[in-house]
Amino acid sequence: MQIRVGFGYDMHRLQEGRELWIGGVKLDYEKGLLGHSDADVLIHAICDALLGAANLRDIGYHFPDTSPEYHNVDSKLLLGETMNLLGEKGYALGNIDATVCAEQPKLNPHIPAMRRKLAEVMGVSDGLISIKATTSEKMGFVGREEGITAYAVALICKS
């Protein structure tokens, strides 16, 4: 059995007038994340971790922000396509461990819904997906509530 690990990181700026999507779940907040797609920072970090583990480059390579096809796209579609790319290479998900860093809104109440939604999109058990939330203790651009970051590690397996 071949086991591979990948790491993903993403950040997006918060902006008024945008919807806030994290982990495939729409959150009620006065600002959303700015990006070419829906800017779901958690899904983007997970996609990069999965693609990196399979040596398939990164999310920008497969879903470029210069393409009108991906303008305002639902990031859950990008995650589903990422899982298809892994399947084509014979890989299956071992697990995901992810952390989202945001001062506001508080994410902990939404983590169970995020895990369920991501598992549904990825076609796996939600027991394979760990999501944690933290703050940056009021330091840096996250601490000033200018943006949100996400980090993810993915383990994939090939028989």
Binding residues, as ranges, are: 10-12, 36-37, 44, 58-60, 134-137, 141, 144
Hey, what's the torsion of the CAs at 159, 92, 111, 42, to 10 degrees? 120
35/15 Cα distance (integer angstroms): 10
| Token couple for 156 | 């994939």
Which residues fall in the annotated binding site for a divalent metal cation? 10, 12, 44
3-state helix, strand, coil in the chain (%, to 5): 35, 35, 30
Longest dimension (CA), the chain: 48
State the Rg of the chain over Cα. Answer: 15
